[in-house]
A and B are shown apart, each in its own frame.
Chain A
Amino acid sequence: MGLSLETIIFYILAVAISVFSVLTVVTTRIVRSATYLLFVLIATAGIYFMLGYTFLGSVQIMVYAGGIVVLYVFSILLTSGEGDKAEKLKRGKFLAGLGAAVAGGVIILFITLTHQFKPTAQIEPVEVSIKSIGHALLGGEKYGYVLPFEAVSILLLACIIGGLLIARKR
């Protein structure tokens, strides 16, 4: 039985996410770190597309890859000099961090792989129509999300004002 195209794409995305997310945290130069983060975010959008959540994937690309990474690169270029490298940690602290991450990862992977999830039928990644997303996002009845929607708009307003207040020149 050959590999289907979907499986091949999934494995490519999975390998890209794993490799680039590890590279993001182990590389010593912070600009490279931001670039690898961009690759991870784009591959995540690919995962959303594979699941059929096209709108979520495009929001991911627009907000993360288009907005947040640009912010990161700007602030990195503003705040770090030419040859900035990550400083060496003490060996004990480094090993403690590595040990905590690896131990947590092993526990979570063990639980994930041994737990029997509710067997689901063959999942067809049907695309969620934008109409139903819009109705859910602005619906006031059950399964409507108008209240969190408005809360997020207030949060964004507070964020604009806060950002201006914090970053302005005194």
Chain B
Amino acid sequence: MTIHMEYYLVVSAIMFFAGIYGFFVRRNTLAILISIELILNATDINFAVFNRFLFPDGLEGHMFALFSIAISAAETAVAIAIMINIYRNIRSIQVKNLNEMKW
């Protein structure tokens, strides 16, 4: 009994669309960011799986996942800095209160 490639892809698809659902439905900016993390993580799994199963001699998907992790860490840090700044200015991070971009 072997584990086929499709099994991994199904797992990552479930994770991806859980992230999409959260992105549409949640109304807290930090919850939206968490959903974005789920989406990015699902794509990283796909890169690693395609590399392992279709091109086992190369390292392209592995490297792409590595760089993607670095970039999403940077993105999260800046986004959380923005959220903290927004909270300082309007005392809330709910999307419904964010109706003007000027402070």
Given contacts A96-B24, A128-B59, A136-B59, contact A40 B11 (CB under 8 A): no
* Chain B count of residues within 8 A CB distance of the other chain: 68
Q: Mark B9-20, 1 if CB is under 8 A from A, else 0.
A: 111011111111
A72 and B30 contact, CB distance less than 8 A? yes
B101 proximal to A (CB < 8 A): no
Among residues of B, the one whose C-beta sits closest to the C-beta of A41 is B41
- The one of B3, B60, B66, B70 that contacts A7, using a Cβ cutoff of 8 Å: B3
Query: Within 8 Å CB of A93, what residues of B?
Result: 25
User: How close is B5's CB to chain A, nearest CB, in angstroms?
Assistant: 6
- The one of B8, B21, B84 that contacts A167, using a Cβ cutoff of 8 Å: B84
In the assembly, what is the distance between CA of A55 and CA of B69, in Å? 12
Q: Mark A37-51, 1 if CB is under 8 A from B, else 0.
A: 100110010011001
In the assembly, what is the distance between CA of A71 and CA of B74, in Å? 12
Query: Within 8 Å CB of B58, what residues of A?
Result: 143
Query: Within 8 Å CB of B15, what residues of A?
Result: 17-18, 21, 40
B49 and A51 contact, CB distance less than 8 A? yes
A to B CB contacts below 8 Å, 28 in the list: A4-B1, A7-B1, A25-B26, A25-B31, A30-B30, A30-B34, A33-B31, A37-B37, A40-B15, A51-B49, A59-B66, A60-B44, A67-B73, A86-B26, A86-B28, A93-B25, A100-B21, A101-B18, A101-B20, A101-B21, A105-B16, A105-B17, A112-B10, A117-B6, A123-B52, A148-B67, A163-B78, A166-B85
